[in-house]
Structure formats: C-alpha cells, structure tokens
Amino acid sequence: FRIKINEAAPLRARYEVPDVLIKEPTTQRLSVSQKEAGILVLTSVNKDYTLQVTANPFQVELHSKGETVLSMNSNGLLYFEHLQPPPSDRYSTCLSHHLEKQEDLGLWQEKFGSFLDFKAHGPSSVGVDFSLHGFDHVYGIPQHAESLLLKNTSDGDAYRLYNLDIFGHKIHEKIGIYGSVPLLLAHKPNRTSGIFWLNSSETLVDINTKAVAEVRQRAVPLTDVRWMSESGIIDVFLLMGPTAFDIFKQFAQLTGTQALPPLFSLGYHQCRWNYEDEQDVKAVDAGFDEHDIPYDVIWLDIEHTDGKRYFTWDKKKFQNPKRMQELLRKKKRKLVVIVDPHIKVDPMYALYSQGKDKGYFVKDRNGQDFEGICWPGSSCYLDFTNPEVRKWYADQFAFKTYKGSTNILFVWNDMNEPSVFKGAELTMQKDAVHYKNWEHRELHNLYGFYQQMATAEGLIKRSSGKERPFVLTRSFFAGSQKYGAVWTGDNTAEWGYLKISIPMLLTISLAGISFCGADVGGFIGDPEPELLVRWYQAGAYQPFFRGHSNMESKRREPWLFGEKNTQIIREAIRERYVLLPYLYTLFYRAHTVAEPVMRPLWVEFPGKLETFGVENEYMLGNALLVHPVTDKEAKAVSVLLPGSEEVRIIQSCSAHTSVLYGNLPAPHLIIIPVFQRGGTVIPLKTTAGKSTEWMIDVSYELHVALDTEARAIGELYLDDGHSFQYLHKKQFLYRKFTFHKNILSSSQKIADNGRKNLLFFRINVNRGMETCLGNFQDETNTLHVRKWTIPHHMCS
C-alpha cells in the first residue's frame, strides 16, 4: 500500500524522489466495503486486506483477516510544514512585529558552528508515526554501526539517516554514516511487514517498543515507529509480506534487484592506500603467486593519479599503466582504481574545464560553482542529479578518453557522501543548489547513488553494452543494489569492529543490497596477527571480500605475519574460492528473485523466537550457517543451531542434531565454524586456483547433507561470468539437484542453453559420520547410491 501526502497548492513544487523506483508502480482500485460519516473501509482485490481510513482524527489502519497489522498516525504525530513566503514578505517594518520576526528568522537560517545554513524556502519538514501491532522485533534502516535488532530510542537518540564521512566512526551509535536506506522491517513468528519511507533528506527514526493491553489473557507487544524528514513529501510504502521473502520481493519490485556481479568480483581483493607504483603492484601480485594464495583484483587509491586528478595517472609512478594491466591480464587478474566525485579546481585539467564550461557543477546559493576542500585541495563537485551530467560522466570511461585504461580496469567511488573537509559535518552545505534549482538538503542521501549509477553506466557503455561492470561505492541509498557493491567504510583494526561488522552487513543485506562487505583487518590502525587471521576467516564467508588498510598502517599483505598465520589465511582464502559456485548461485537468486545472499537466522527460521536477536552468526543462502570467531583468544564458541534438520560442520564432518546452544571447540586460529544445513546440496569447486579465471576448467563437487528423511535439494547456476549473454541470449546453465531414495538426480531448473559442455561432479553425501564419495556425469542425470561408509579421517 502506498500513501502519498503532498500540499494541494504549494508555493513551489516540493521534492519527490526521482530515479529510485524502477518504474511507477501499477495501482489497483480498492473496493469500498463500508462508507459512513468520517470512515471509509476499502478491501483489496484478493480480499486479504482491508484498509480503514478515519477522517477525524486522521488515521489509517491495515487489517489482515481481522487482525490489525499496522496503523498510521495512531499517536497523532502527523505533521506537514506548508511552504510559506519569507518573513520580509509577510511582515511590515512595524516595530510591534520586530520580536516575532526575529523568532521566525530562526526558521529561515540556522548556524552550525561557523557555518550558516540559509533556508531559501523556509521550513518544510514532514513526519508521521506508525504502530506495528504484535511486533517487538524491528530491523533495517542502515547504515549505523549498531546491533541487528533496532533499539528502543525513547530514552536516547533517534536513528539518523544522513550520509556522512566519519573517519574512524564509533560503534554502538545511532548517528548516520556513509549510506542510508529508509526501509524498516518488523518480524513476529507468523508475519513480516515493512515500511519504506521514500525521502532523501535528513531523516530521523524514533522507535518505541512496549506491551499493550492484554488480548486473550496475554500481553500483546506494540512498536511505534516515527519518521521525521527535513523536507520533501510523505511518500511511504507499506509492505505487507506476509513472509520475509515476500518483503524482499516487494521492495525489489519498487527499487530493483541486486545486479549480477562479474564472477571475478566475488574473489579476493587486495587494496591499500596506496600501492606506490608499477613495481609495487608487480611485487604484490608476484607475492600472491609465491605464497600460493588466490586473489583476483589489486586496487589503486588516490595516489595513483596526477595530483588527485581522477581519470589520470602519476606519470612518474605509473609510466605505462597499460603495460601494467596487460601483465595483470596475463595472470588472469583485474585492476580497480578510485574515482571520487570532487574535481580539482585547475583550468588546465580537462575534466574541470569541461565541467565548468558546461555548467555541470553544483552551485552555491549565490549561483556560483560550489567550491569545497577535499583531497586535491579546492574542488568542485559534479552535479550527478542532472541526467546530462551523468551521460557526460559515463563517457569519461571510454578507452579513448580515459587514457591508460583497459577493459580489466574497474572502479571504486569513494568520498561521495559527498565529503567536504571544510563543511558542516564535513559534507556539502544544505543550501547548495542542484539541477532544477533543488537545494542539496532535499536530495543529500542520493548523491552517491547517482555517482555509482553514472559510473556503472560508463563501464557498460565502454564495452558497447556487452560486459557487466563492477563498481564499489561508499555512499548509497535505496536502489544502489542495481549498480554494484557497497562496504561499511573506514573501520578500525579492533575486535569490536570485527564483531559489529556482522550485524552491519546483515542490516545492509536486509535492505536489498546483497553485495556488501567490511574492510578485512580494519582500515585504521595495525591489527594484531590473531585479529587479522580471524578477520580473513570471517570475510571469506561474506559477499564482498577485500583486505584494505590506511596509508599510515603497516603493510599487511597476507604473507607478512609468519608462516603459521600465512598458512591459515591461505586456507581461508582458498575456502572462499572453492565456495564460489555456491556463492555465484546465491547472487543469481539475489538478482532474479531478490533473496539476500547473507541473511539473519530469523529469515530462514521465522518461527524460532531464539533466532530473532542473533547477530553473531548468520545464514549464507539457505544452506550454510556461519559463526565467525570474533573474540580474542577464543577456545570455543557458543553456536545456535536452529530447526529440526541435522547439520554438520564442514571441516570436521561431525554431526550435530538440532540444539539450542552448543559449545563448539575452536582450536586457536584454525577452525571457522561453518555448518551445512540438513536437506541441502551445495556446489563447490574441487580445488582453488590462482584466480577465478584459472578455475574455469576445475571440476565441481556436490556436498549433499541429508535431512532426517534422507532427502536433500540444491542448485547450481553457471554462465560465462562476465557478459550480459545470460540476459540477452539466455546463455547459462541452471540445474536443480535432488537426493531422494538414495538417488541423486539432476534436472533443468529453467530454460537454459549456450553451454553444451558436460559437467563432471564429485559427490560427497553426508549424514552424520557416514559419507559416500562417487562420480556423477551431468548428462546421465542420475546417480544410484546404495551403501556408504567411509572412515572419518577421509571426510572431505
């Protein structure tokens, strides 16, 4: 249900968020089932829901089969500040109005330290409250360095959605950091509901959970959620589920699904601020081969450019960038370079001079190009809200324009909150002016969304629409999943940041952005070896896997911490590469049916109350339960194994039936607690290679974990890993595997073609301590399994 409230006749148009919805949703006329003085009752087409609108006091209630699910304005907190003329137009110079004028002026200009925010159109805030009936567990509204379960804010700060560059942000704070997705989910055992507040201005979310009057001799919980935005309109979607997976699909129908990433981007990425020069890149690349550690991408930060001028190269340090990329290509690896939104003020810099001549920069309130301070010094900021600017910017990635680039070069958008070193809260002033004269305050949270959109379009355009892009962004909004990946920003090399990264990534995943990760090892500071090892083990089972560090941190390539630690890190990264067929299949499902790759336990076990607040373990797809070790010198972890299925530890193959909490031994630094859920089949590679491209011809392995009825099902998706042929020519392979009555069968999941080569699998069937190893040729479609026993020490 969409509820949209605007002024009937405003002095000027109010901002309505464009470009986030993939299309204007189709509407259905509701039938009037009751109409009386001041009350209107409407019924949905399928009669599952009724909507009651009360005029005075204004209130909306949603009912499902007689149960109140959600109500709007039940606490009477709806407000909508009408646009009004400035004080000078409303008041005469009469002395009697002087005091009133001075008070009113505070609504038209506001001071932040030394910064003055002129509100050219005056106050225009909006807000309303929602009551979620029967719910006391709510999630979502990233990005905050906070717990998975949203906290009661009645005695403290509200959650803030305002994209900011906060270097070394603190944990367990509700201040907004790099990205904002105004989507909140509420869950109880029999229902999941959602609220999508489509507003890109600064927004606060207040949450108050309480028990209400008893119903049938039991206290029923109630959660009130109040949304408040600085400007814009009220445009809210009430997502009715009733399951979490329904919510994910409903949100994707509005904002789009996760872009299917190129396969290489699911491998390991090696980054640092900064790899010094071509020789440094060559040496680091060789180090991975020397130590037999797989990796796919090496990254270059701002120092690779000519004086922080993006789309250029430092001519002394990177004299022949094409040759450097060709050497990487021969190794079947890729390069990612940083491209930030600020443009150095330099008339000799083509990007600046062209942008200035065309009027493509954000303006200040006086109509001049807005100038702020960032890495290059004085900088102007491209106005990505203008479609003409986005088209021009996309053209900058053409090989003939971006000298020294090749088709193995991909892009990292950083500092795009946008970051302004001398600005209120280190960002752009709210009274800056964008395309169509909209103030920055209206669309602040969209700025990074638009840069990533333009960058992704540029990478697609340079390949004439044939190749999938890879773009990582720090700032994001609802719908950013359509354009690439995000990460949690500038974290710190401390155990608390490793621990908080899990709920942060789960929250981002719930908000539709599956391709997310956290800097392995922590960006700021120097991790102790144990912390670095544990972080690699955690990152290996998360969607985006990148090691990254600050320029003031000591070098930390994986082989610099002694042979023992190198061996453990090597094994963690190799496990990631072996897992890629399963992970790629999960991303295909995220792309096609909006299922999160990484998901909280309650999504898979919606009726298990004990899972609702769990944030130290998670499901990777529906088959793997991952519990990273996030405590120093841990010798054991307490693992929740929900459900009735039998599960097993991947590494030791010992069986664990359903338990509430069990202590799992975690020998120092060796074990990654990963469990396979009974009743599932996961596809793996039989061995890791130097990079994803080295593994194309490596055979596959199916791990079959049986449920209590000796059944299991799973899937495998394959395509060429880099092009759009899967979409345009339907060139892919998508198989479903079923194990039943000791027969493993393979069938076509949906129509596929274009891959005629046979696939050969090694099969590992596991139930408890019993295992069968066999071979399976896809063309034959069936494998008969009769008796299976194997010594425990041989278990794969």
Give per-residue pLDDT as tens, 568-605: 999 999 999 999 999 999 999 999 999 999 999 999 99
Q: What band does 773 get if pLDDT is binned at 50, 70 and 90?
A: low
Q: Which amino acid is at 694?
A: W
Closest CA to 737 of 763, 719, 716, 710: 716
Query: What local confidence, expressed as pLDDT, does residue 753 receive?
Result: 61
8 A C-beta contact, residue 511 and residue 481: no
Using CA atoms, how far apart are residues 519 and 33, in angstroms rounded to an integer? Answer: 54
| pLDDT tens figures, 177-193 | 999 999 999 999 999 99
Query: What local confidence, expressed as pLDDT, does residue 758 receive?
Result: 57
Using CA atoms, how far apart are residues 389 and 434, in angstroms rounded to an integer? Answer: 11
Using CA atoms, how far apart are residues 505 and 661, in angstroms rounded to an integer? Answer: 23
Using CA atoms, how far apart are residues 286 and 667, in angstroms rounded to an integer? Answer: 32
Does this chain's domain 2-82+124-230 share its CATH topology with 678-796? yes
Query: What local confidence, expressed as pLDDT, does residue 66 receive?
Result: 85
Q: What band does 35 get if pLDDT is binned at 50, 70 and 90?
A: confident
The pLDDT mean for the chain works out to 90
DSSP at 694: G
The 10 Å Cβ neighbour count of residue 289 is: 12
Q: Any idea where the domains of the chain sit in the sequence?
A: 2-82+124-230, 87-118, 678-796
Q: Is the pLDDT of residue 426 over 50?
A: yes
| pLDDT tens figures, 252-284 | 999 999 999 999 999 999 999 999 999 999 999
Q: Is the pLDDT of residue 774 over 80?
A: no
Query: What local confidence, expressed as pLDDT, does residue 37 receive?
Result: 87
Give me the sign of the Cα torsion angle 199, 200, 206, 207: positive
Using CA atoms, how far apart are residues 381 and 362, in angstroms rounded to an integer? Answer: 6
For the chain, the C-alpha Rg in angstroms (whole number) is: 27
The 10 Å Cβ neighbour count of residue 93 is: 8
Using CA atoms, how far apart are residues 176 and 476, in angstroms rounded to an integer? Answer: 12
Q: What band does 760 get if pLDDT is binned at 50, 70 and 90?
A: low
Mean pLDDT of 729-752: 88
Q: Which CATH architecture has domain 678-796?
A: Sandwich (2.60)
Mean pLDDT of 39-58: 92
Q: Is the pLDDT of residue 141 over 60?
A: yes
Q: Identify the residue with better confidence: 783 or 505.
A: 505
| pLDDT tens figures, 146-177 | 999 999 999 899 999 999 999 989 999 999 99
Mean pLDDT of 443-447: 98
Catalytic site positions? 414, 417, 490
Q: What band does 614 get if pLDDT is binned at 50, 70 and 90?
A: very high
Mean pLDDT of 363-380: 98
| Phi, psi angle pair for 557, to nearest 5° | -55, 150
Q: Identify the residue with better confidence: 431 or 91.
A: 431
| pLDDT tens figures, 105-133 | 568 998 888 899 999 999 999 999 999 99
Using CA atoms, how far apart are residues 43 and 727, in angstroms rounded to an integer? Answer: 38
Using CA atoms, how far apart are residues 15 and 419, in angstroms rounded to an integer? Answer: 23
Closest CA to 705 of 654, 657, 760, 648: 648
Q: What band does 215 get if pLDDT is binned at 50, 70 and 90?
A: low
Q: Is the pLDDT of residue 692 over 80?
A: yes
Query: What local confidence, expressed as pLDDT, does residue 397 receive?
Result: 98
The listed CATH number (2.40.340.10, 3.40.50.970, 2.60.40.1760, 2.60.40.420) that belongs to domain 2-82+124-230:
2.60.40.1760
pLDDT over 90 percentage in the chain? 79
Mean pLDDT of 394-404: 98
Task: Specify the residue for token string 């646009």.
Answer: 83
| pLDDT tens figures, 452-509 | 999 999 999 999 999 999 999 999 999 999 999 999 999 999 999 999 999 999 999 9
Quick one: tokens of 417?
């909150």
Query: What local confidence, expressed as pLDDT, does residue 660 receive?
Result: 39
Query: What local confidence, expressed as pLDDT, does residue 666 receive?
Result: 58
**DSSP conformation letters of 748-765:** ESS--BS--S--EEEEEE
Q: Is the pLDDT of residue 783 over 60?
A: no
